[in-house]
Amino acid sequence: MDLSSHQWNTDDADAASADFRRSEMNNLTKLFEIYGDGAVDQRGRYTAALDAFRALYGPGPVQIFRAPGRVNLIGEHTDYNHGYVMPAALDKDVLLLAHPRRDGEIHLANMEADFPSQAFRIEANIEPAPNGDWSNYARGAAQEAARTFAGLLHGFDGLVSSAPPLGVPRGAGVSSSSALTVVMAVALAHFAEWNPSPARMAQFCSDAEWYVGTRGGIMDQFIALLGQRDHALFLDCRPVDGDFRTETIPLPEEYRLLVVNSGVHHSNVRNEFNARVASCRAGVALLRREFPAITHLRDVESFGWTLLEPLLPEETTVATLRADGHDLGDLPNVAANTLLRVRACCRHVWSENRRVLAAVKAMRMGQIEQLGILLNEAHASARDNYRISVPELEILVEAASEIAGCVGARLTGAGWGGCIVALVHKDGVNEFQRRVPQIYREKSGRQAGVFLCQASPGAGMVGEFTV
């Protein structure tokens, strides 16, 4: 087996034991379960990570955990409005190799030299590393665990492997940050013998990401935990008695999801993101004058837009709302004079929720052309109503739509750069992979990375190894 080469070559007498062989075979089977044919490509990555772990922390047992990135098929900026989303888990993931320590400290190294090693103690108030430090996602998970879990949490020595192309691309809107948070949470829970439900765990991980200041929703954490091979996940982001409604939806067999990374990443995304959250909260505050019982935009989804529109201003500011007695809650980096485009933002969320439900129906009924139309409409709304597109994403979406067999394309993730996702008939995939980066280069002077989304299973422990 591929991974076994890592250990068959040792002189360790145990390595030849039947038990050891069996566990290696199990590991191989597990890799195929996770990555399908991609398991072969994972060999070098897993082997290198195991070698590096041994070099760092010495010989002994080590567990490998993984959590995937995601691509969102449809349902953008709806999750924090208690709306609907339909993401799929990528076969690109974050690996965490770990073995428990006797104290409550986490020592974390990274296979990539750009991410320096960090150590911190698991406690209810963990000092953040400087802004932008990779370990803040790990710190967020550990802090949230300390606040939430009543039992004993174990520290561990850990090593993260997440370098693309097999790892999750960073800053590309495919949730590398959530993958890191989730893999940390999965490891912490494993060592503490803590078994929260997936809904509880997703909520926990979402709260943990607030440590870095983003007021996002729960989509990324949910799909990182509940992904299934060759399936998308429909998720209703409205909790009911602490639980969430989910449904796995088979991806169309004759079609492929292609993800194209623009390579563009805007630094001010968090502030812009929180300003959109503020616009949605402003919408709720103002609609409450007419519908006092509502708490989220989701609550007005059954009303016609013509009824809602006149109740919402085109624009307002946090300061104006405050003066009128409306409190938008805690939103880091949203200044009192930030312009909130309330009407257009609410129009996006209201219509996007409807598109997700229509997309689920189209997928169930095999109406792929209809699904494509919905993806295109979702993109137009994200661009015109929510204003989260950038010129590079427009070039990519336009280039994608020129390819025969591409039925729909849209930006995916938070926006302001990152990736687009396109639904392409399998016969058009080669042409898509050849032409789209070419057009992008001609029009933007930039390099685009294209990859297939092979929907993979959600996070968990891959296996136990001896190094």
Which of 158, 169, 216, 458 is close enough to bind ligand NG1 by CB under 6 A? 216
CA 229 → CA 36, 183, 298, 454, distances in Å?
A: 9, 18, 29, 7
Which of 24, 76, 91, 157 is close enough to bind ligand NG1 by CB under 6 A? 76
Residue number of the CB atom closest to ligand NG1: 216
Q: Is 350 in the site for ligand NG1 (CB under 6 A)?
A: no
Q: Is 14 a catalytic residue?
A: no
Q: Is 413 in the site for ligand NG1 (CB under 6 A)?
A: yes
**CA angle, corner 394, sides to 388 and 395, nearest 5?**
150
Selected catalytic residue, list 91, 93, 207, 220: 220
The rounded distance, in Å, linking the Cα atoms of 297 and 307 is 14
- Residue 277: CB minimum distance to ligand NG1, A: 9
- Residue 50: CB minimum distance to ligand NG1, A: 29
Q: Which is nearer to ligand NG1, 403 or 455 (CB)?
A: 455
Which of 80, 84, 191, 432 is close enough to bind ligand NG1 by CB under 6 A? 80
**Which pair of structure tokens corresponds to residue 164?**
């693309």
Q: Which is nearer to ligand NG1, 155 or 217 (CB)?
A: 217
What lies within 8 Å, CB to CB, of 348 at 6+ separation is 77, 381, 382, 385, 386
The rounded distance, in Å, linking the Cα atoms of 385 and 388 is 8
CA-nearest of 31, 67, 33, 34 to 47 is 31
The rounded distance, in Å, linking the Cα atoms of 70 and 413 is 9
Q: Is 392 in the site for ligand NG1 (CB under 6 A)?
A: no
Convert 166-204 to b/e letters by CB count within 10 Å (16 or more is b): bbbbbbbbbbbbbbbbbbbbbbbbbbbebeeebbebbbb
What lies within 8 Å, CB to CB, of 342 at 6+ separation is 279, 282, 283, 286, 312, 313, 314, 315, 316
Which of 140, 173, 283, 408 is close enough to bind ligand NG1 by CB under 6 A? 173
Q: Is 372 in the site for ligand NG1 (CB under 6 A)?
A: no
Q: Which is nearer to ligand NG1, 157 or 209 (CB)?
A: 209
Q: Which is nearer to ligand NG1, 76 or 377 (CB)?
A: 76
Q: What are phi and psi of 119, to 5 degrees?
A: -140, 140
Taking each helix axis from N to C end, the angle separating 176-192 and 219-226, rounded to the nearest 10 degrees, works out to 60
Q: Which is nearer to ligand NG1, 54 or 139 (CB)?
A: 139
- Residue 89: CB minimum distance to ligand NG1, A: 13
The answer to whether the beta carbons of residues 455 and 230 sit under 8 Å apart is yes
Q: Is 81 in the site for ligand NG1 (CB under 6 A)?
A: no
Site string for ligand NG1, 176-215 (x = CB under 6 A): --x------------------------------x----x-
In eight-state DSSP terms, residue 467 is -
Q: Which is nearer to ligand NG1, 79 or 392 (CB)?
A: 79
Name the segment binding ligand NG1 (CB under 6 A); options: 71-79, 137-145, 371-379, 397-405. Answer: 71-79
Q: Is 355 in the site for ligand NG1 (CB under 6 A)?
A: no
Q: Which is nearer to ligand NG1, 82 or 107 (CB)?
A: 82
The answer to whether the beta carbons of residues 303 and 456 sit under 8 Å apart is no
Which of 24, 79, 93, 207 is close enough to bind ligand NG1 by CB under 6 A? 79
The answer to whether the beta carbons of residues 404 and 377 sit under 8 Å apart is no
Q: Is 220 in the site for ligand NG1 (CB under 6 A)?
A: yes
- Residue 76: CB minimum distance to ligand NG1, A: 4
The catalytic site residues sit at 220
Binding stretches for ligand NG1 (CB under 6 A): 76-77, 79-80, 173, 175, 178, 209, 214, 216-217, 219-220, 413-414
